[in-house]
């Protein structure tokens, strides 16, 4: 998978040489070409409250390990604290900051040979009075000591110049050699290994660069390592650190740059998991990104429109209308972090055609009648909404389940079985509290059942019986019991109006698990409700209920499995939606005020 | 080979197990498994059943994937440190008691140092794995004439389910179960899957020479491509297998 990240860096990111990295810089110290300090400038989109600054694509970069072992600070861009000793720190801390400032200016003095204009900055930074002036201006602008700062001389940013590039590369190389000579016992020739990414003979990098942007999924804000062997127990065969999985420095820098870029531009966060995706070839402008549609549910209207959109895309791929899309490949990586280390949770790759087909199937399998009826489908579920339908607090979804569901969505495989248990529990709780049942929760049950039956031998017939709308012909007694429950609820409401805790609130939970224990009591109860209605629709209800009993035959199931409980829930939900749609129920008014399913997602 | 009599015959084992983890070396701390068994892990299974390192070495030729690769996330307590050789030597001589490495306790109970003896790491393992593995016995030159006998011994052991130790699927806690297949036995078709794995670990030791317990490791890799559920493993000496300089 790392080779695919390197491919991405080669194709989509310009500069990925070791020692360089794109950086966002929010502030610049403005100097005249004569060396006079003039002002502090805010860079980037200054009208944006969350302005992160201007992106410089090729900044000099030291890894944290290099900073520690080589004893230098960053070059040309660093925190305001280091650049200008801009701090409120006490004496001891201040001494450390001054020491850092000195190493920062030392690098500038070394680089002056290659870029004489830097002498302007150096003189200013070595002058106490100028530093005080800079600090005062930084304070005026409310700059944080940890904000990145660079320089502008006249109209030019030295960061954007290429004059220092060669000097920087040779400086890093010299540092690398001198550092290696200090600690290495094994001769260099013995350290040549096969790179696990490129397959070339290389000298493996000892510690890998850190990936940023994973602090929201458990990583550190200073960066998180993907490949690292920090503990002795994780080194094998006498190998030291990076030798355990030899990777060259340039490949390591490339995969890090690719991950940084993907996290920034093509990622979605689901609780503790961050998903990044990309394509081998850039998608043409006239095509949609199917994974974006899955993640953001970026579709106006119902699932039907989502399906139409995906179908159109599929047809375009099949007909070759969108050039190069048919051969394109997708890659999808799910990441979490713990402390300083990245955990890969999933890696999926495949053809874009199968991806589009699978996402189409995801929406198709999840499609369910709108709870308000009216022959309309529920809105297309965002992936996040699907997760939210399983638990009360979204943070309670375990990360492995997020990944398993994600895999189901994009590979078309079966949904993990725990999801139906979670969805059912959520539905039961909602109904007992007279709260709305979420469309996505019912969608999950339907999708699970469809894929479960299709994967079984001879299960296609069962799958065909599961429809978006109510299916009165469904052969499962569990499904019919669910429908019966809906009729009982509707009948009670018609007969008595809002009674607070109705049959659903009282009996749904037990009926959905042990119907034989409850249905008898509910049938007796329904007779009282029918007698109340008299000619006002009572006969109609009686007929429907007896039809269902006829379909179920002699036996009402004693206990229901999780799959059968899902069928029960589906039968109840779809029948409720159908009752809402129905216009002609004897002489009764349309049932619109029922308290069972009301709110929107 | 001097005559056709001495040509090694392909030995086929059907291997299955509940879990497996063939850790990618680059992701061996927070473990992430290759989607398919590596040749070295497959060799380890054959070694567990029958091994005479001074007489022959196993070479894997083909891996057939009989179940779709499915991942499962596990979290386990692991130790951070290795046992010290000096401490073990001292224990052997009877000079001191061994200090255990505890995976679920604080070391300060024992030694008064360190904070925790354990560290929790993730394993993205495979579940319900099922492979058919083809391998050859490669005798060292002085044992070439014994190949038939070696093969017969292997077949006797494997057919009775004998092994020196329980074969495992990447990690010792994931036992492998096996069945010897007869050459002309009808075989189920492998899964219809294509996976381009990229560079995959071939082996950690030099398979061309007779090593011993003190041999230095020599990592080799190859471009693994599963086509129609079959991973063809190139010969160790071929150009397709890249070795350290």
In this complex, which of B217, B223, B245 lies closest to A237 when CB atoms are compared?
B217
Q: For residue range A223-237, list pLDDT tens digits in order.
A: 888 888 877 788 888
Put simply, the chain A residues between 197 and 236 with a CB less than 8 A from any chain B CB are 197, 199, 201, 226-234, 236
Q: What is the DSSP string of A35-51?
A: S-EEEEEE-S-TT-TT-
pLDDT exceeds 80 at position A179? no
Rounded to a whole number, what is the distance in Å from the CA of B57 to chain A's nearest CA? 20
In this complex, which of B28, B71, B122 lies closest to A244 when CB atoms are compared?
B28
Spatial CA neighbour of B118 closest among B142, B102, B134: B102
Put simply, the chain A residues between 172 and 201 with a CB less than 8 A from any chain B CB are 189, 192-194, 196-197, 199, 201
- A592/A38 Cα distance (integer angstroms): 70
Lowest-confidence pick of A173-187, A519-533, B183-197:
A173-187
Looking at chain A, which residue has its C-alpha nearest residue B28?
Answer: A234
Q: Do B27 and A227 touch (CB under 8 A)?
A: yes
The count of CB pairs under 8 A between chains A and B is 89
Tokens of B96: 């001191």
Percent helix / strand / coil, chain A, rounded to 5: 50, 15, 35
Predicted TM-score (pTM) of this structure: 0.80
Report the interhelical angle of A515-533 vs A477-496 (nearest 10°). 30
| pLDDT, mean of residues A206-210 | 85
| pLDDT, mean of residues A354-358 | 86
B30: Cα separation from own chain's centroid: 19
Q: Do A245 and B26 touch (CB under 8 A)?
A: yes
Relative to beta strand A148-153, strand A27-31 is: parallel
- For CA atoms A119, A123, A125, A126, give the dihedral sign: positive
Put simply, the chain A residues between 234 and 253 with a CB less than 8 A from any chain B CB are 234, 236-239, 244-247
Q: What is the DSSP string of A108-130?
A: HHHHTTT-TTHHHHHHHHT-HHH
Which of B26, B118, B126, B226 to probe the A interface (max A CBs under 10 A)?
B26
What is the model's pLDDT at position B22? Answer: 95
Q: Do B219 and A194 touch (CB under 8 A)?
A: yes
- A62/A70 Cα distance (integer angstroms): 9
For the ranges A206-210, A386-390, B180-184, B198-202, the maximum mean pLDDT occurs at B198-202
- A357/A314 Cα distance (integer angstroms): 7
Q: How many residues does chain B have?
A: 245
What is the model's pLDDT at position A241? Answer: 82
Q: How many residues does chain A have?
A: 601
CB A306 within 8 A of CB A254: no
What is the model's pLDDT at position A189? Answer: 43
Rounded to a whole number, what is the distance in Å from the CA of A339 to chain B's nearest CA? 11
Put simply, the chain A residues between 42 and 71 with a CB less than 8 A from any chain B CB are none
ipTM: 0.85
Q: For residue range A401-455, list pLDDT tens digits in order.
A: 888 899 999 888 889 899 999 999 988 888 888 888 888 889 999 999 999 988 8
**Percent of all residues in chain A with a pLDDT value above 90, rounded to a whole number:** 6
How far are the Cα atoms of B15, B63, B151 from residue B155, in angstroms, in the given order? 15, 19, 6
pLDDT exceeds 70 at position B244? yes
> Helix and strand tally (H, E) in chain A?
21, 12
What is the model's pLDDT at position B20? Answer: 95
- A67/A74 Cα distance (integer angstroms): 8
Q: Do B25 and A245 touch (CB under 8 A)?
A: yes
In this complex, which of A199, A239, A345 lies closest to B221 when CB atoms are compared?
A199
Q: For residue range A91-118, list pLDDT tens digits in order.
A: 777 788 888 888 888 888 888 888 888 8
In this complex, which of B124, B221, B243 lies closest to A196 when CB atoms are compared?
B221
What is the model's pLDDT at position A48? Answer: 79
In the DSSP assignment, the letter for residue A229 is: -
Rounded to a whole number, what is the distance in Å from the CA of B212 to chain A's nearest CA? 14
Rounded to a whole number, what is the distance in Å from the CA of A180 to chain B's nearest CA? 20
- A151/A134 Cα distance (integer angstroms): 12
Cα torsion through A453, A455, A461, A464, rounded to 10: 70
Lowest-confidence pick of A31-45, A309-323, B223-237:
A309-323
- B133/B17 Cα distance (integer angstroms): 14
Rounded to a whole number, what is the distance in Å from the CA of A343 to chain B's nearest CA? 6
CB B6 within 8 A of CB B144: yes
The residue assigned the tokens 């990360």 is A399
Q: Do A231 and B245 touch (CB under 8 A)?
A: no
A303: Cβ contacts below 8 Å, ≥ 6 apart: A363, A366, A367, A368, A377, A378, A379, A380, A381
pLDDT exceeds 90 at position B104? no
For residue A341, the chain B residues in CB contact (below 8 A) are: 29-30
Region of residue A320 (left: phi > 0; alpha: psi -120 to 50; beta: else)? left
Q: With H, G, I as helix, E, B as strand and everything else as coil, classify residue B139.
A: strand
- For CA atoms B149, B154, B159, B161, give the dihedral sign: positive
- A511/A594 Cα distance (integer angstroms): 20
Tokens of B12: 């086929």
B35: Cβ contacts below 8 Å, ≥ 6 apart: B69, B126, B195, B197, B226
Q: What is the DSSP string of B32-50?
A: EB-SS--HHHHHHHHHHHS
Rounded to a whole number, what is the distance in Å from the CA of A231 to chain B's nearest CA? 6
């Amino acid at each position: 998978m790392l080779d695919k990240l390197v491919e991405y860096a080669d194709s989509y990111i310009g500069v990925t040489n070791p020692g360089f990295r794109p950086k966002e810089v929010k502030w610049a110290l403005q100097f005249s070409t004569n060396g006079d300090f003039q002002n502090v400038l805010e860079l980037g989109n200054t009208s944006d409250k969350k302005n992160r600054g201007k992106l410089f694509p090729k900044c000099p970069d030291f890894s944290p390990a290099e900073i520690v072992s080589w004893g230098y600070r960053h070059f040309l861009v660093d925190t305001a604290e280091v650049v200008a000793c801009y701090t409120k720190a006490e004496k001891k801390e201040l001494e450390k900051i001054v020491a850092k400032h000195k190493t920062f200016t030392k690098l500038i003095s070394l680089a002056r040979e290659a870029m004489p204009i830097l002498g302007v900055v150096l003189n200013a930074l070595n002058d106490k009075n100028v530093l005080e002036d800079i600090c005062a201006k930084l304070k005026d602008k409310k700059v944080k000591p940890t904000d990145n700062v660079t320089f502008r001389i006249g109209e030019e940013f030295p960061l954007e110049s290429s004059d220092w590039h060669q000097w920087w590369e040779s400086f890093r190389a010299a540092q690398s050699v001198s550092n290696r000579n200090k600690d290495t016992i094994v001769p260099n020739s013995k350290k040549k290994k096969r790179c696990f990414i490129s397959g070339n003979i290389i000298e493996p990098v000892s510690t890998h660069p850190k990936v940023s942007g994973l602090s929201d999924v458990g990583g550190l804000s200073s960066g998180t390592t993907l490949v690292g062997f920090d503990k002795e127990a994780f080194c094998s065969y006498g190998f030291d650190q990076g030798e355990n999985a030899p990777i060259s420095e340039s490949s390591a820098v490339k995969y890090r740059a690719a991950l940084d870029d993907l996290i920034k531009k093509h990622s979605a966060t689901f609780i503790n998991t961050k998903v990044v995706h990309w394509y081998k070839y850039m998608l043409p402008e006239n095509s949609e990104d199917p994974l974006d549609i899955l993640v953001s549910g970026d579709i106006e209207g119902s699932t039907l429109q989502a399906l139409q959109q995906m179908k159109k895309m599929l047809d375009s791929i099949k007909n070759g209308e969108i050039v190069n899309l048919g051969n394109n490949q997708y890659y999808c990586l799910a990441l979490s972090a713990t402390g300083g280390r990245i955990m890969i949770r999933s890696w999926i790759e495949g053809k874009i055609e199968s991806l589009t087909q699978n996402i189409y199937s995801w929406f198709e399998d999840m499609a369910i009648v709108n709870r308000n009826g009216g022959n309309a489908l529920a809105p297309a579920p965002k992936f996040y909404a699907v997760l939210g339908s399983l638990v009360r607090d979204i943070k309670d979804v375990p990360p492995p389940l997020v990944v398993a569901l994600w895999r189901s969505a994009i590979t078309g495989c079966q949904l993990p079985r725990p999801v139906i248990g979670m969805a059912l529990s959520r539905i039961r709780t909602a109904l007992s509290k007279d709260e709305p049942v979420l469309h996505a929760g019912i969608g999950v049950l339907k999708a699970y059942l469809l894929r479960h039956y299709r994967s079984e031998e001879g299960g296609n017939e069962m799958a065909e019986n599961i429809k978006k709308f109510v299916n009165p012909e469904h052969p499962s007694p569990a499904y019919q019991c669910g429908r019966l429950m809906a009729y009982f609820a509707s009948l009670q409401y018609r007969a008595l109006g809002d009674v607070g805790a109705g049959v659903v609130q009282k009996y749904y939970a037990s009926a959905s698990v042990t119907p034989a224990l409850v249905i008898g009591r509910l049938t007796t109860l329904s007779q009282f409700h029918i007698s109340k209605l008299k000619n006002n629709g009572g006969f109609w209800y009686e007929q429907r209920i007896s039809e269902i009993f006829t379909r179920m035959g002699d036996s009402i199931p004693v206990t229901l499995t999780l799959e059968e409980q899902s069928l029960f829930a589906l039968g109840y939900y779809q029948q409720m939606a159908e009752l809402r749609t129905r216009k002609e129920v004897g002489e009764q008014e349309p049932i619109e005020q029922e308290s069972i399913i009301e709110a929107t997602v | 080979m001097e005559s056709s009599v001495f040509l090694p015959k392909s030995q086929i084992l059907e291997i299955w197990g509940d879990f497996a983890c063939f850790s990618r070396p680059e992701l061996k701390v927070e473990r992430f498994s290759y989607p398919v068994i590596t040749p070295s892990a497959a060799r380890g299974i054959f070694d567990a059943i029958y091994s005479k390192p001074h007489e022959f070495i196993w070479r894997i030729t083909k891996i057939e994937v009989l179940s779709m690769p499915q991942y499962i996330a596990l979290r386990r307590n692991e130790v951070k440190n290795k046992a010290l050789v000096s401490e073990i030597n001292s224990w052997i001589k009877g000079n001191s008691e061994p200090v255990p490495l505890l995976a679920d306790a604080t070391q300060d109970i024992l030694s008064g140092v360190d904070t925790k003896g354990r560290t929790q790491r993730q394993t993205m393992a495979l579940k319900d794995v099922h492979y058919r593995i083809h391998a050859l016995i490669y005798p060292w030159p002085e044992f070439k004439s014994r190949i038939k006998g070696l093969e017969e011994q292997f077949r006797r052991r494997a057919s009775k389910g004998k092994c020196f130790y329980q074969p495992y699927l990447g990690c010792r806690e994931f036992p492998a179960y096996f069945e010897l297949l007869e050459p002309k036995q009808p075989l189920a078709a492998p899964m219809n899957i294509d996976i381009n794995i990229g560079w995959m670990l071939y082996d950690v030791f030099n398979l061309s020479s007779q090593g011993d317990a003190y041999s230095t490791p020599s990592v080799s890799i190859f471009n693994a491509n599963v086509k129609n559920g079959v991973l063809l493993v190139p010969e160790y000496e071929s150009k397709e297998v890249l070795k350290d300089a």
